[in-house]
Each structure stands twice: as structure tokens, then as C-alpha cells.
Structure 1
Amino acid sequence: MLAKIIMKNFKSFKNETVIDFTRINYKFLENNVSNNGVLKGVAFYGANASGKSNVLWAIRFLLDELFGEEKNPVTFMKCLFSDEPEFSLQYFFVIESREIHYLIDFHTEKGIINEELYLDRKLLLQRMGSTAKSGITEKKVYTDLNNKVLFLRTVYFNTGFSGDDKDNNANNNILRQWFDYMQNSIYVNPFLHRGIAYGKQDVVLNKYLENEGVKEINRFFTKYNFEYTLDYLNERKVKDVTEIVNDDNIKLVFFNRKGVNVPIPYVLESHGNQNLLNILPCFLRVVQNSGMLLVDEFSGGLHNELERLLVNYFF
């Protein structure tokens, strides 16, 4: 789990800022603490332009750089209120009670200038500019590295943290669990009706329904006493009219409301129910697979009671 982030000169955080997710002493938060002492979930609240989304950006930035196909423009990541050309990010994770510490320094012109990875304070990987050395799967020195690509990403995609060194097997297993945890993570913005998955899971509504059907979503609706269930079909009778999609590869979502004999197409449903349906696959995927769920603009079109239900479900 993610235990701490340290940001400096990143986005709106000019000074070094620590976001600590480890437990605190408030008794009413006891149910929000995992076995390893890290909070299961955190909510950021505050005025517009106070930096809430930028905290999520710090986490999303790591996931984008490690697993994404498109990289973030470094110039837009640096704090606009500073003349310093560099920004730094540090991440602390706890995986099976072991601490992973990963830090990166970026320069707006030079790209990645420093990168270090520690496991229980033991240095496993170090990069300075275009040269680096790794002791993860084999002791090897690298040169002429791409200044826009993380060295850790290169090592992972080249080796999968697998090697013949028996002494490193336990460490590599922790690193693989760490990467699985990060790849199971999802960023979602309900206001924009979209989610970004960092592994193989699909969270776009139609693709999710194609792969999984409506079973899990309907089970969620039934468990929490919603007044409707879903159908995902090529064809559906509406009174005496049959709506048919000519392309066999295209299906439609219908809401079946209790006490209403007419199935309601997705496009005619309320904005709030559309929002819920678009973000629900993200919640289901993360809860089932164990990862981080980053929700920006959580209140976009959702009723307060529904927000509370989703938070309780996640915990």
C-alpha cells in the first residue's frame, strides 16, 4: 500500500510537502486502518485551486511514467510559482511489512537526472543522468539511457524482476507484488465519465460489460437495495416497439426499474445514474484485485448518500 509521498516543486507544491497515509490516533478511524498500519482510504477536501487534484497527480504521474504509453510533459509538472528547473517526487510503499522507497528527480530540460530505489533502506537501483546500475536481477551498469524513460520501467519490462540469483528471489517477489499492486490501480474522474487502468483490466463501461457481463454490477445493485438492474443486449422490446442495433458488435445498456414496465435506455437515464455506471467498474476492479483507486471530482453528479455508500463499499 502507498504509505507516503514527498513532493517538492511539483505542480502547486513549491516547498517540500509530505502526504503521510500511515495511521493516526483518531479512534473513529479505526475501521479505516489496514493490518500494516496504513490508511485504507483518504479524502482531500478544500477550496477550488487548493491543490487537491495535484496530490492525485503526484500518484498518477508515477503510474503514467511506469506503465503509460504517453508521458506527461515535464514542463507542466514543475511548479509555476518557482524559478527552479527541477522537481522531485518520493514514494513510500509497504508490501508485506517491507518498505519500498522510490525517488525521482526531473529537470525541465535535461529530463530524468536522478532515480533511486530502496527496499528496507537497501539500495537496489541508482541512476544519475544517462548512466545507472541495478542489483535487482543482476549487477549491471547501463549507459546512454533515454532521459525521458524511467530506468525502473526499463528494468521491469526487460526482466519482469526475475533472475537466477537465489539471494534476490525474496526481494524480487516483493517488487513483483509492488508492481502488481500499482498495475491494478485505476484513476477515475466521474465528471469526465472516464477511468484510466494501468494493467490489462478494462474499465470503459462497454468493454467491461463485453468482458464481464452485468452479473457483478447487478449483484452490487441487489446487495445495496438499488431500485434497478441492468441488461446489456443487442435487442430489447419497449412496449410494442423493438429497438434493434444493426451492427451485431454493438449492444445497448438498459435500466430495469422496479415498478416500471418500460426498460430505460442508458442515454435516457439520469446524469447521476450514468455517472455511477461509468465509475462502478473502476470500484469493482480495484476491490477485487487490490490496487489504488484515485478518484478526482468524486462528487460529480452523485448524491451524498451514494457517495457514502461507495466509500463504505471500498473500505
Structure 2
Amino acid sequence: MLTKFAVTNYRGFANRIEWDLSKSANYEFNKTAVKDGIIKNGIIYGPNGSGKTNFGLALFDIENHLSPKWKKPDYYLNFVYAGKKNEIVTFEYTFKFHKTEVEYIYAKNAVGALVEESLFVDKINIFERKRNSFHIDKQQFPMDKNIEQSLKNNANNVSIINFLLTSYPLGSEHYLMKLNRFVNSMLWFRNLDVREFIGLETHVTMLDEFIIANNLLDDFSAFLQSVSEQKFQFAKHHPTDKQILCKIEGYVVPFHLLASTGTRSLQLLYFWIKRMNEASFVFIDEFDAFYHFRLAFEVCKRLFSLDCQMFTSSHNTYLMTNDLLRPDCNFILNNNKIKCLADCTDKELRFGHNIEKIYRAGAFYEE
């Protein structure tokens, strides 16, 4: 699981911003939102322009050089904080795999090339590459001097982790293999003006075709009814059909002509839910942009019941309730800081407290 993340000099974040998921509180409700002391589910709130989208994108920078999965084509546009264009962007990740802690720190320049990289396992430095310097634990990774010199120079900015993964025989439980599996199973997506995603898949999938080809029409219909109380009667389809058709009083109409923006957003969510059994960490940016507030609540309940670490961003404070999560799982991002509600007050927060009302009243401090 991801336990901590920090980024410096990325887009709107001039200074270092850290998100610590290892500091869960001792609440006796909604215990499934925390796993092994690590926050598993959460929602990030914040004013417009506070950086929620950019923070989510920063989390997935690791995908760009460690994973072959789908990338966001324009990711490196406006990559560096505008006031420090000539400085590097630094990313810090801490993972917990069973009892092993893996800390991965690296930096990139304005075009996204790796210029620094280091790895620590249980606080022991495995390797470190800075500008014109490189060292590695040769007991774990014996290495010829020529290869070591090439990695020191590293003119093509290759990731040391990718080099080690492809150059040494490693067991399936090796920390690098676990890190590799986790990163390859991360997923970020959103559905605003355009649908975008990072990770998990290697290609773009047509949603209607996916549902038809996998014989999921009845299941998709039941999903729409359960979360939004919408009833659609789908026509029978051949597995090679390209679009979903609905039956209305003897007529057949394409689903996309009937579906509202919110319903089409639910179709995208349905597709990803079917893939999330393979996911390790998911971040959905403004997942409820087109949802009724009660629908957003029902969707969250379904998402947070999944096994993977699951986080969303939202403006909908109706979701800020102890009926869904806990104060240590609701985060406020503002002024280059991200803090959970439990850390934004000196008062003890209990299950019976209306934390949305407290938040709207301005009782949570964010500094």
C-alpha cells in the first residue's frame, strides 16, 4: 500500500507538499476505511484552484517511467512550477509491502527526464544516482565496473529500477517485483470535458463494445438501477455489436442518445469497477462532477467497498459524513498543504458529530 507521498516544485506546488496515509486515528467506526494502520479510502476536498487535480496527477508521475500502461499524452505540459522553471521536480513515495517499507525518491527536469533517483528499503540505501554520481548495494546487485560507470553517466536517463528489474533474476516476493506490480496496477481517471486515464490499461476501450462483448448488459442495467434508480431495457445483442440499444415501446434507440451526462459518467465508472479487481491504488478526479449528491454517496459506498486503495476528489460536502468515512479519511487541500479533518481541530470528533456542518461553519483550521 502507499503510505506517504510528497512532491516539490510541481505545477502549482512551489513548495514541498506531503500526504501521510500512515497516521490513521483510533476511531471505532468505519474501520474498513483503514487497513493495517494505513488509510485505504478517502476524499480530498478543496476550493477551486487549490490543486486537487494537479495533486492527483503528481501521484501518478511514477507511472510515466516505471510502467508500460497508458499515459496522459499532455502530461509534461506545464510540468514545473512557473516561478522555478530551471529547477527540478522531486517526487517521494513510501510503500508498505507486508512488513517491508520501500521509499522511492526521484527528480525530473522540465521535459520529464530522470536526473536523480534513489531507493531505500527499511531505511537501507539500495542505490542512489545524483548528477554525475552513482552507488549501489553490490551485495544485492553485483555489478561490473563498466556497467556501473554507464549508470553513473546515464545519458539516456533510464530508470535504475527498470534496469534492475530487467537485468537480474528476482523472486516474485522481491521488493522490486512488489513495487513493479503495485505501480503497474495504479489507475487515475476522470470524466469532465473529455475522458482521460492513466495506468492499468494499455489501450483505449469502447465502453459499449466492452459491455456487449463481455455479456454484461443485464449486469450494467442492474448497476444503473441500484445506484441511480434508472431503469433501461436493453435489446438483445450479438457479441460483435458496436453500440448498446434500448427498447422503448417497440422502438430501438441507441443508449448514448438517451443517457444523460451523469448516466454516461456512470457507464465509465461501471467499466472501471469491472477492472478494479486488478487495481492496487485508484484516484478518481472529481468523480461526482455530473452526479446528484445522493447518487455520489451511493457510488462512494460501492467504491470504498473494493479491496484496492481508493481515493477521490470532490466539492460535494454531502459526502463529508461519518456515515461514509471518518475524520481521518476526509482531507482538505489548500495553501500548498493537505491535512485530514482530524488534524484540523483540537476538538475530539465523534461518530455523532455533523462534520459537514462543522466544516461549513469554518471550525476546521487549515494552516
TM-score normalised to structure 2 length? 0.67
Contact 1:117 1:126 in 2 (8 A): yes
Instruction: Work out whether 1:37 is the aligned partner of 2:37.
Output: yes
Match of 1:280 in 2: 270
Aligned pairs (5 A) from 1:1-315:
1-25=1-25, 27=27, 30-68=30-68, 76-82=78-84, 85-108=87-110, 111-129=113-131, 132=134, 138-140=141-143, 141=148, 143=150, 144-156=153-165, 158-159=166-167, 162-163=169-170, 169=171, 172=174, 174-191=175-192, 192-199=194-201, 204-206=206-208, 208-209=210-211, 212-214=214-216, 217-218=220-221, 220-221=223-224, 226-228=229-231, 231=234, 249-255=240-246, 264-268=253-257, 269-286=259-276, 288-315=277-304
Q: CA RMSD in A?
A: 3.4
Residues matched between the structures, number: 292
Describe the superposition over 1:239-288 as per-residue Cα deviations: whole angstroms up to 9, x where unpaired. xxxxxxxxx9552113568xx665542221222111110122113312x1
**Alpha-carbon distance in 2 for matches of 1:179, 1:232:** 42
* Structure 2 gap segments, 5+ residues each: 305-367
Contact 2:212 2:237 in 1 (8 A): no
Change (3 A) 1:200 1:261: same
TM-score normalised to structure 1 length? 0.77
Change (3 A) 1:29 1:61: farther
Change (3 A) 1:66 1:110: closer
Matched letter for residue 65 of structure 1: H
Match of 2:322 in 1: none
With 36-45 and 216-225 compared, the bigger mean Cα shift is at: 216-225
With 74-83 and 26-35 compared, the bigger mean Cα shift is at: 26-35
The SS at the match of 2:141 is coil
**Alpha-carbon distance in 1 for matches of 2:181, 2:77:** 29
Change (3 A) 1:305 1:254: farther
Contact 1:187 1:295 in 2 (8 A): yes
Higher RCO (C-alpha 8 Å, min separation 6): 2
The SS at the match of 1:47 is coil
Deviation of 1:224 (Å): 5.1
Contact 2:102 2:119 in 1 (8 A): yes
**Alpha-carbon distance in 2 for matches of 1:99, 1:314:** 27
Contact 1:89 1:104 in 2 (8 A): yes
Matched letter for residue 139 of structure 1: P
Identity among equivalent pairs (%): 15
Contact 2:187 2:279 in 1 (8 A): no
With 74-83 and 52-61 compared, the bigger mean Cα shift is at: 74-83
Deviation of 1:102 (Å): 0.4
**Alpha-carbon distance in 1 for matches of 2:122, 2:289:** 40
Deviation of 1:154 (Å): 3.5
Deviation of 1:290 (Å): 3.6
